[in-house]
Structure 1
Amino acid sequence: MSAYLQFDNVSKHFPGVIALGGVSFEAHAGTVHGLLGENGAGKSTLLKILGGQYRPDGGRLLLGGQPVAFGSASDAIAAGVAVIHQELQYVPELTVAENILLGRLPTRYGFVDKSSANRIVSERLALLGVDLDPQARLVDLSIAQRQMVEICKAVMQDAQVIAFDEPTSSLSHRETDILFRIVRDLRADGRTLIYISHRLEELYALCDACTIFRDGRRVVTHPVMADVPRERLISDMVGRELSDIYDYREREHGVERLKIKGMAPDCDFTVRAGEVLGFFGLVGAGRSELMRQLYGADKRTPGTVLLDGQPVPHHGPSSAIAAGIVLCPEDRKEQGILAQASVSENINISVRRLDLMGGMFLRHRREAELADEFIKRLRIKTPNREQEIRLLSGGNQQKVILARWLAEPDLKVLILDEPTRGIDVGAKNDIYRIIHEVAARGCCVIVVSSELPEVLGIADRVAVMREGRIAGVLARADANETSVLRLALPDSTPNDTTARRTA
């Protein structure tokens, strides 16, 4: 095996931040090389240099032993490099076929030949085992389906180097299995593969070697990943030992505080003060839809939301927020952050409605103090409060959204939809700590997650959804992988004795 891809002392700086500080490592043809590190460690910046989106401030990139310098993404593609970024890059109004073949669409008489494009993509999708309609518009697809489109687009470029940045963050188990098969086929074909994931089980399943980043620098490269204990990887990444990542704490739960009744068929549930209720289900089970109805982001069907015994009005998110119910959405990029605004503005955007006295100078001072307080409290990695949030890593963006809702003076119900998707193990530990702190204050916390170990690790009870209904609710003592999956899988039936007892 030869070192086809080499990074030689590569550096990249942004105002106030060293994104990469002299990084050197190599990846061999016919292998999968994993990149590990906390959010903001420099992994995605490295891939943007590889993909031609950024130019390095120093160092060299070599392909096949030859130095290359990419001025654009098209230069990288022409050199045989394909990058699947964590933040999906697609044209929502175009079809699956048009997105996959963008920049190389077949033409006839000077016009795009859509029938040929559909045929080409349909044949390749069939070979990959991916079930997508070439004529479907991206805007009409789920996040998971859009992710598969991006993966297929990169694979169909027939690149020699393919980099994956958190490719399974939105995928179902079935789609993840398809991706793993694609990655293994590409490795067997002699491609050079870079794979970033915060899910260590994926890295152990796929990667031959790995390089660990911390604070923009390479910490270590392990040439045989299978030989490295999980605890060693975690300590290399975060620089400290994490004996119990979930940080679960036994708590006394108070009276029933939140009650959902009749909002959707077989979806009634309650949450007590100080309780963490986990929601698990396969992709498409209806978890996010239920939470968005509760919050008022989607039109609510006839039903009742009772908080401390009082009905919450059906007037959208503003009514929910006023009552003390807040939501961190599944798609933080599209629905959570104000991308062009600063960290401070994103934290203060909701509580501004409460500032009914004082002039602009006083308001700015209060907002600065509040932003600085939460940056410190939640360990948000940012050069300063005025940094645009879009320049932060995904994990730090998630912490900013959390700060926005924790700043609410009368928070009663915190709903977190996939709160740790695409987030490193250290940031996950920080978010779990925050969840338990909020619950300890007597708030109700609802956590929706596709990661079963996460739900089992942090929840006091686990509600399992299947096909738009709650199939059962399990006490922590009764919740394990077998009992939860038995309720979640389509061909299973609810466990009447355990599930309904704890509903």
Structure 2
Amino acid sequence: MSIELANQQSPLPASLLPALEVRGLVKHYPGVKALDGVDFHVNQNEVLGLAGENGAGKSTLLKALVGLVRPDAGQIYVRGEKVRMRSVVDAANHGVGMVFQEQSLVPNLTAAENIVLGSEGPGVRRGMYRWDTMRKLAQEQLDKIGSTIDPRARTDTLTFADRQMVEIAKVLRIEQRTRFAPVIILDEPTSVLESGEVETLFTQIRRLREFASVIFVSHRLDEVLEVCDRVTVLRGGQSVGDVATAGAVPGDLHRLMIGSTGSDDHYHDSSIERPAGEPRPRLTVRGLSGPSFRDVDLDIAEGEILAIVGVHGSGREDVCRALFGAQETVAGEVTLDGKKLDLSGSRAACSAGVGYVPAERKIEGMVGPMSVADNMTLTKQGVRCVGPLVVPVRQASVVDTWISRLSIRTPHRGTAIQRLSGGNQQKVVLARWLVGGDIRLLLLDHPTRGLDIGARSEVYKLMRELANTGVATLLLADSLEEAIGMADRIVVMSDGRITAEVACPSGAKPTPLDLVKEMV
């Protein structure tokens, strides 16, 4: 292990030293100063929240803590000892592990194999797995977090929430490699969990506090305040304040995150423009059925935002994908502006003026190594090509216009999109459907997932602007509050069927409880 003793021995006893401390951490990328002298610490047996807008430096800081990024300056201390994290293995040797936002499990292995992978110890003898021993080792970690998952279960048969538990159990194996009590980093662990699953996760985090320290990262500020003891806020690559969660409200964190009080009009209701007369119907769905949904009837008018809500497995995601030609259907008819919509594939949907922003942005919504410019014009070749050839000047003009209009923070249009923050990646994905000027129906599957409060507000503003131009929007919201705040009407789905429709006029919005009653 590459441990260097601090220059001066701390006068504090070991039990009072921070479990992990960062002093003056600096990291430069071309054109960007991602970390600008960050200071923060997490105490022993504490749950520390880490909050900040997209681009504030959170991801870079976490990667530095687990050895994926080497800082240009600054120090990291574990229990008062200065350390250098040169790799993930190095970080594990110091007792620091991370559950990544994008899960890192091997799907065709069992839970036990994933948990002990890379630290099999007595689970392997002479190059051969000792299956009983390996399962026992995995069960020890699952027992620590109170999980009832069968270690023999294949990982790809588990729910997302259960896979999160396997990830945590896997990280806890670092106890076998170090003399330190572990520091567990949870990066956006609730981003795709339902409310009941979130409560289960919070129970496990409180259990972890008994023998470990936890750094909890989430854009959902109410969750940060509920589960954490204290919150450190980053802004512009710097730590700008600590907030004790007792008595704090999300607005306290928001003010630190953006440096101002922000706007009370979070959903931009004041920008709604209602056309004179009765709006024309844009999308009409009758009797649409597929493997996970049946007999779905929907109507969306020009400029209307319709939200579909439902618990996991309700079928709403598959309905959204079916309207883009990305999910099989077996019956039904769909018309767009009075003409039958071809559901045979996504190419036909694009040609008809249908856009789709998928929930899994990094998997289905963008090509990471490709540039901002190429991602933005991926489905609209006509805006950048003359015949079969790309005309760089033509592409640059269109892309720069939308970078400016959407305030996309990027060093250059040629920057790889994977280098951008999540909020700016999402703006590029949205811009893809706007550059051609022919969008008529926009399908948004959790468009604000993983975005901070400022980036979410910018997405809401764009949705309002598109609605004002007549674009019809189908929204699968990230929360009931988001659906209520943005929708003109809300449709409830359960077990693959529509079970209710709820009016959602401005000034007379339903409550989350009103919707939950229809969902269960």
Give me the TM-score of the superposition, normalised by structure 2: 0.89
The counterpart of 1:438, out of the listed 463, 466, 477, is 466
- Indicate how the Cα distance of structure 1 residues 270 and 344 shifts in structure 2: closer, same or farther if over 3 A, else same: same
- Indicate how the Cα distance of structure 1 residues 425 and 77 shifts in structure 2: closer, same or farther if over 3 A, else same: same
Q: Matches of residues 465-484 of structure 1 in structure 2 within 5 Å? A: 465-476=493-504, 477=508, 479-484=510-515
- Corresponding position: 1:244 with 2:265: yes
The aligned residue for residue 408 of structure 1 is: 436
Q: Look up the equivalent residue of 1:433 and give its one-letter code.
A: K
- Indicate how the Cα distance of structure 1 residues 125 and 469 shifts in structure 2: closer, same or farther if over 3 A, else same: farther
Q: CA deviation at 1:295?
A: 0.8
The counterpart of 2:110, out of the listed 95, 100, 104, is 95
The counterpart of 2:92, out of the listed 77, 100, 103, is 77
- Indicate how the Cα distance of structure 1 residues 391 and 440 shifts in structure 2: closer, same or farther if over 3 A, else same: same
Q: Distance in 1 between matches of 2:385 and 2:31?
A: 35
Sequence identity, in percent? 39
- Corresponding position: 1:176 with 2:198: yes
Contact 1:287–1:448 under 8 Å retained in 2: yes
- Indicate how the Cα distance of structure 1 residues 364 and 71 shifts in structure 2: closer, same or farther if over 3 A, else same: same
The counterpart of 2:456, out of the listed 425, 428, 444, is 428
**Residue aligned with 2:82, SS:** strand
Contact 2:225–2:248 under 8 Å retained in 1: no
The aligned residue for residue 13 of structure 2 is: none
Q: Matches of residues 338-349 of structure 1 in structure 2 within 5 Å? A: 338-349=367-378
Q: Look up the equivalent residue of 1:28 and give its one-letter code.
A: N
Q: Distance in 1 between matches of 2:478 and 2:313?
A: 11
Q: Distance in 2 between matches of 1:388 and 1:373?
A: 18
- Gaps of at least 5 residues in structure 2 are 1-15, 176-180
**Residue aligned with 2:501, SS:** strand
Q: Matches of residues 355-366 of structure 1 in structure 2 within 5 Å? A: 357=386, 360=389, 363-366=391-394
Structure 1, residues 57-77: CA drift from partner, whole Å, max 9, x if none?
A: 101000100101011001111
Q: Distance in 2 between matches of 1:442 and 1:360?
A: 33
- Corresponding position: 1:219 with 2:263: no
Q: Distance in 2 between matches of 1:72 and 1:419?
A: 33
Q: Look up the equivalent residue of 1:259 and give its one-letter code.
A: T
The counterpart of 1:12, out of the listed 3, 11, 27, is 27
Q: Matches of residues 250-261 of structure 1 in structure 2 within 5 Å? A: 250-252=272-274, 254-261=279-286
The aligned residue for residue 305 of structure 2 is: 276
Q: CA deviation at 1:123?
A: 5.9
**Residue aligned with 1:164, SS:** strand
**Residue aligned with 1:330, SS:** coil
Contact 2:324–2:343 under 8 Å retained in 1: no
The aligned residue for residue 485 of structure 1 is: 516
Q: CA deviation at 1:90?
A: 2.8
Q: Distance in 1 between matches of 2:115 and 2:459?
A: 36
The counterpart of 2:145, out of the listed 109, 128, 137, is 128
Q: Distance in 2 between matches of 1:432 and 1:84?
A: 29
The counterpart of 1:453, out of the listed 481, 496, 507, is 481
Q: Distance in 2 between matches of 1:43 and 1:306?
A: 44
The aligned residue for residue 344 of structure 2 is: 315
- Indicate how the Cα distance of structure 1 residues 342 and 166 shifts in structure 2: closer, same or farther if over 3 A, else same: same
The counterpart of 2:251, out of the listed 231, 236, 246, is 231
- Corresponding position: 1:25 with 2:56: no
Q: Distance in 2 between matches of 1:441 and 1:232?
A: 35
The aligned residue for residue 6 of structure 2 is: none
- Indicate how the Cα distance of structure 1 residues 487 and 218 shifts in structure 2: closer, same or farther if over 3 A, else same: same
**Residue aligned with 2:26, SS:** strand
Q: Distance in 1 between matches of 2:108 and 2:415?
A: 31
Q: Matches of residues 127-206 of structure 1 in structure 2 within 5 Å? A: 128-130=145-147, 132-139=149-156, 141=158, 143-158=160-175, 160-189=182-211, 191-206=212-227
- Gaps of at least 5 residues in structure 1 are 490-503
**Residue aligned with 2:288, SS:** coil
Q: Look up the equivalent residue of 1:350 and give its one-letter code.
A: T
Q: Distance in 1 between matches of 2:403 and 2:105?
A: 32
Q: Look up the equivalent residue of 1:180 and give its one-letter code.
A: F
Q: Look up the equivalent residue of 2:58 and give its one-letter code.
A: K
Q: Distance in 2 between matches of 1:169 and 1:134?
A: 25
**Residue aligned with 2:216, SS:** strand
**Residue aligned with 1:100, SS:** helix
Q: Matches of residues 295-314 of structure 1 in structure 2 within 5 Å? A: 295-314=324-343
Q: Look up the equivalent residue of 2:19 and give its one-letter code.
A: Y
Contact 2:95–2:183 under 8 Å retained in 1: yes
Q: Distance in 2 between matches of 1:307 and 1:130?
A: 48
How many aligned residue pairs are there?
A: 486
The aligned residue for residue 10 of structure 2 is: none
Give me the TM-score of the superposition, normalised by structure 1: 0.91
Q: CA deviation at 1:395?
A: 1.6
CA-based RMSD? 2.1
Contact 2:322–2:343 under 8 Å retained in 1: no
- Indicate how the Cα distance of structure 1 residues 27 and 276 shifts in structure 2: closer, same or farther if over 3 A, else same: same
- Corresponding position: 1:113 with 2:135: no
- Indicate how the Cα distance of structure 1 residues 101 and 5 shifts in structure 2: closer, same or farther if over 3 A, else same: same
Q: Which moved more, 1:26-35 or 1:103-112?
A: 103-112
The aligned residue for residue 178 of structure 2 is: none
Contact 1:10–1:21 under 8 Å retained in 2: yes
Structure 1, residues 287-336: CA drift from partner, whole Å, max 9, x if none?
A: 11111111111222221111011111132000111111111001111111
- Indicate how the Cα distance of structure 1 residues 243 and 53 shifts in structure 2: closer, same or farther if over 3 A, else same: same
Q: Distance in 2 between matches of 1:132 and 1:305?
A: 42
The counterpart of 1:285, out of the listed 296, 303, 314, is 314
The aligned residue for residue 491 of structure 2 is: 463
Contact 1:147–1:171 under 8 Å retained in 2: no
Q: Matches of residues 46-65 of structure 1 in structure 2 within 5 Å? A: 46-65=61-80
- Corresponding position: 1:263 with 2:288: yes
**Residue aligned with 1:405, SS:** coil
Q: Distance in 2 between matches of 1:130 and 1:244?
A: 42
Contact 1:256–1:273 under 8 Å retained in 2: yes
**Residue aligned with 2:465, SS:** helix
Q: Distance in 2 between matches of 1:154 and 1:248?
A: 44
Contact 2:49–2:215 under 8 Å retained in 1: yes
The aligned residue for residue 500 of structure 1 is: none
The aligned residue for residue 501 of structure 1 is: none
Contact 1:122–1:134 under 8 Å retained in 2: yes
The aligned residue for residue 12 of structure 2 is: none
Contact 1:342–1:387 under 8 Å retained in 2: yes
Structure 1, residues 259-291: CA drift from partner, whole Å, max 9, x if none?
A: 111112242111111101111111222111111
- Indicate how the Cα distance of structure 1 residues 307 and 84 shifts in structure 2: closer, same or farther if over 3 A, else same: same
